[in-house]
A and B are shown apart, each in its own frame.
Chain A
């Protein structure tokens, strides 16, 4: 016998995609409709995602994460979202926003304290920037943090926060300077159970209904200075960096939703017969499918380009925004056309595409609207 030892130094992305797809098909797909109708946030599933290593994908192994890169991370998000956008969204928000903010800007004690719990799914993370009156205009935020001795006193409200009620810990950006001045915001880590901090109203949403979106309320919430992330005044700059990565994850979320809607439409178009033949044999439907497949492929290339640049340590402000803009608009278009291909059956809940249609719309809004992405891109190309 001739033998040789071959080390399996191959691209692991394919195996990650397969594993997350298998998990999604077994544990998520059977529950999608019920979770959507009941607006149920599947906390048990999240503990399982933690065990699988999906909640600390970007966190180095010394902090209990899996130490993977953005390429692997976006692969996993897209596979989850292909089955249920809500799960993809919650997983992305947990990884990219709360966990990543602490990873990027936390001191060693903060990293040691929070990252292992977040990476294993023992704790779910939230991230609070948006407020009722300031979405994209974050410089004008009303939530304030005032220093009193060795403590900070937080007052105000954040809304549209993923895991705002059930999150065990939140990174909160509060104004520490005058409105509309530079460097006027600072980031803090606030644990659930801290007096003066509570979850508020849970939103009743159009889509992404299994992902919890809620208010976070602060009323004379006192936290020690040791919970401050980075320097006073750096909160907004930190947030923009966190969002650069976050936008890649929303691009991946969009890609997964588009893929799920497209696969459903592709299958249906080949099975549904009218006038004695599958509707896919009509050019009107076949060309629609060709357009959708092409747009999805373009989304995939933009998303993976941004991920690869991020993995190389490069600034991805423009590429992240481009990927998020194109992939999210594509998700809305694909879901819309998928409903059209399904016809009347696309409009009822017995088939999956109406949910993709509702879920997709979040992607052009969350973590910066399409209009804000264009602002970001134009500032990058006109500077």
Chain B
């Protein structure tokens, strides 16, 4: 079993978001970056499958050198080697192109990634990678088992679940509870130091989209307390001020 896990390097979930360059760029100053939480689940399942079925797990990140701590953590969790495509991940198509180029060279049985990154939340990369490679792409996958060349998959659908079977190779967008969350242990951290990390240049540097601006939600207003015996005032304010009824 040869598995490729694509990971993102995203701001920690508690980050206070600000922008620079006239609100066209995310301000990275002082921000702690982490592996995308959905990608973490994809990696955890890949490591579980490797332990059960044998094979290799390769981690792939499209990002600049500052993403290497995130890649190193993936190696500490159990990936065997890593590839970094040395480019700013500008948009979903660009990232998918890079992943597809690596996948064409190496012929993986499974290409796993998170259902979406938690920074720009596009949720498109797995679909585009599937299209570029001519293989099925399924998301969001919450359960994955492999039986020979067949994957048994459970994916979440609106209000329920869908069970599927599909032949390998596949591209899957993953989410919890596909695997148990893994935290690197001390031995993993030490062995990660000598695992190979290959840096490759992107297939192209064309920028297909440009961001015109970002906008944060308006700050939450103060809470207005209405005494319990003034129901009419409450209804009036819900109508005229909050405009929700």
B181 touches A26 (CB 8 A): yes
Contact with B along A1-28 (1 / 0, CB 8 A): 1111111111010111011001100100
Say yes or no: is A53 at the interface (Cβ < 8 Å to chain B): yes
A15 touches B194 (CB 8 A): no
A8 touches B193 (CB 8 A): yes
Q: Which of A92-135 contact B (CB under 8 A)?
A: none
Interface size class of B (residues with CB under 8 A): 20 to 34
Say yes or no: is A54 at the interface (Cβ < 8 Å to chain B): yes
CA distance A382 to B47 in the complex (A): 57
CB-CB under 8 A from B72, the residues of chain A are: 8, 10, 15
Say yes or no: is A66 at the interface (Cβ < 8 Å to chain B): yes
CB of A269, distance to nearest CB on chain B (Å):
15
Say yes or no: is A203 at the interface (Cβ < 8 Å to chain B): no
Say yes or no: is A52 at the interface (Cβ < 8 Å to chain B): yes
Say yes or no: is B200 at the interface (Cβ < 8 Å to chain A): yes
User: Given A4-B199, A15-B69, are A51 and B185 also a contact pair (CB < 8 Å)?
Assistant: yes
Say yes or no: is B25 at the interface (Cβ < 8 Å to chain A): no
User: Given A4-B199, A8-B192, are A16 and B183 also a contact pair (CB < 8 Å)?
Assistant: no
B197 touches A8 (CB 8 A): yes
**Most chain A beta carbons < 10 A, residue from B73, B101, B183, B187:** B183
Say yes or no: is A68 at the interface (Cβ < 8 Å to chain B): yes
Cross-chain contact of B199 among A3, A18, A67, A72 (Cβ < 8 A): A3
User: Given A8-B72, A23-B183, are A15 and B198 also a contact pair (CB < 8 Å)?
Assistant: no
Cross-chain contact of B189 among A5, A15, A26 (Cβ < 8 A): A15
B183 touches A22 (CB 8 A): yes
Say yes or no: is A57 at the interface (Cβ < 8 Å to chain B): yes
Say yes or no: is B54 at the interface (Cβ < 8 Å to chain A): no
Q: Which of B153-191 contact A (CB under 8 A)?
A: 181, 183-187, 189-190
Question: How many residues on A have C-beta within 8 angstroms of the other chain's C-beta atoms?
Answer: 28
CB-CB under 8 A from A53, the residues of chain B are: 185-187
A19 touches B198 (CB 8 A): no
CA distance A26 to B64 in the complex (A): 29
B190 touches A2 (CB 8 A): no
Q: A27's closest neighbor in chain B, by CB?
A: B183
CA distance A53 to B181 in the complex (A): 17
CA distance A368 to B48 in the complex (A): 46
Q: Which of B188-239 contact A (CB under 8 A)?
A: 189-190, 192-201, 203
Say yes or no: is B76 at the interface (Cβ < 8 Å to chain A): yes
B193 touches A68 (CB 8 A): no
B199 touches A12 (CB 8 A): no
CB of A92, distance to nearest CB on chain B (Å):
15
CB-CB under 8 A from A18, the residues of chain B are: 69, 73
User: Given A8-B192, A53-B187, A57-B186, are A19 and B197 also a contact pair (CB < 8 Å)?
Assistant: no
**Most chain B beta carbons < 10 A, residue from A4, A5, A6, A23:** A6
CB-CB under 8 A from B68, the residues of chain A are: 8, 10
CB-CB under 8 A from A26, the residues of chain B are: 181, 183
CA distance A8 to B70 in the complex (A): 12
B186 touches A6 (CB 8 A): no
CB of B198, distance to nearest CB on chain A (Å):
5
Say yes or no: is B75 at the interface (Cβ < 8 Å to chain A): yes
B200 touches A1 (CB 8 A): yes
Q: A2's closest neighbor in chain B, by CB?
A: B201
CB of A28, distance to nearest CB on chain B (Å):
12
CB-CB under 8 A from A23, the residues of chain B are: 183
B189 touches A16 (CB 8 A): yes
CA distance A2 to B199 in the complex (A): 8
CB-CB under 8 A from A57, the residues of chain B are: 186
**Most chain B beta carbons < 10 A, residue from A18, A22, A53:** A18
User: Given A3-B199, A15-B69, are A10 and B193 also a contact pair (CB < 8 Å)?
Assistant: yes
Further contacts, 14 of them, CB under 8 A, given A1-B101, A15-B69: A5-B197, A7-B194, A7-B197, A8-B68, A8-B192, A10-B68, A10-B193, A12-B192, A14-B69, A15-B189, A57-B186, A66-B187, A66-B190, A67-B190
> Across chains A and B, which 4 residue pairs bring their CB atoms closest together, nearest first?
A53-B186, A66-B186, A52-B185, A19-B184
Where the two chains meet, the residues of B that have a C-beta atom closer than 8 Å to any C-beta of A are 68-69, 72-73, 75-76, 101, 181, 183-187, 189-190, 192-201, 203
11 interchain pairs, CB-CB under 8 A: A3-B199, A4-B199, A7-B194, A8-B75, A8-B192, A8-B194, A8-B197, A14-B69, A22-B183, A53-B185, A53-B186
Where the two chains meet, the residues of A that have a C-beta atom closer than 8 Å to any C-beta of B are 1-10, 12, 14-16, 18-19, 22-23, 26, 51-54, 57, 66-68, 72
